[in-house]
Amino acid sequence: MKNIDDTKLKKLVEAALFIADKPLTVAILKTSLLADYSVSSARIKAAIAALEQDYKTRGVELIKVASGYRFQTHHSISDDLGHLYKEKTPKYSRALLETLALIAYKQPITRGEIEEVRGVGVSSYIMKTLTERNWVKVVGQKEVPGRPVLYATTKEFLDYFNLSSLAELPDLMPIPELSLDDNLTPIKETET
């Protein structure tokens, strides 16, 4: 095993993260990129931390998502860069987003449970779209009669929404408790 100085280590990690087509973990960097070098995970993490500091004020930033670390456009300028790309952001239906939200917040969850909360059936197209985007996967079957499939989100879902864990999901808005006396207009009885 060869030794590596901190400057070269930082350069290698930076270059690897720039050219990677997906986020990289410390373990992947250590076992692939740095396999020929004697370097600890702590030193790799220190190099990543230094890179995060270096890029704080630049047009790109180094962030941690569920699948590892990646460079991406700094959020403060992403709208301005939209003019460079003709490709439009996909538009998702309210039904798809509601289904995705239920899976994210209530996972693991069955299709029947999603339908019960939404009050309508979940189309096969929605489930197909979510699984094709690799945002949702089957994680098992519920131990009830019929053994329905259980769905949960994936690391790709977290990566897409710049989250490193489900704990970073925004809090749900509380549903206010309604009282029969609150803001209700009495119905007038009519004579028949």
Whether the bond between 108 and the residue before it is cis, its omega within 30 degrees of 0, is yes
Q: Which two tokens stand for residue 186?
A: 């009495």
Check residues 190 and 162 and name the one with the higher pLDDT. Answer: 162
Judge whether residue 184 has pLDDT over 80. Answer: no
Check residues 3 and 181 and name the one with the higher pLDDT. Answer: 3
CA distances from 55 to 62, 134, 163 (A): 7, 29, 19
Burial of 69 (0-12, 13-18, 19+ CB in 10 A): buried
Please report, as a single letter, which amino acid is at residue 187: I
Q: Which residue has the tokens 């925004």?
A: 170
Contact (Cβ atoms closer than 8 angstroms) between residue 51 and residue 13: yes
Q: What is the pLDDT of residues 75-128, one digit of tens each?
A: 888 778 877 776 667 788 999 999 999 999 999 999 999 999 999 999 999 999
Q: Which domains does the chain have, with CATH numbers?
A: 6-79 (1.10.10.10), 94-166 (1.10.10.10)
Q: What is the pLDDT of residues 122-178, one digit of tens each?
A: 999 999 999 999 999 999 999 989 999 999 999 999 999 989 999 999 887 776 665
Nearest CA to 12 among 54, 37, 56?
A: 37
What does the pLDDT read at residue 98? Answer: 94
What does the pLDDT read at residue 75? Answer: 83
What does the pLDDT read at residue 191? Answer: 52
149 strand-pairing partners: 141
Judge whether residue 192 has pLDDT over 50. Answer: no
Provide the angle, in degrees to the nearest 10, between the axes of the packed helices 41-54 and 6-19.
70
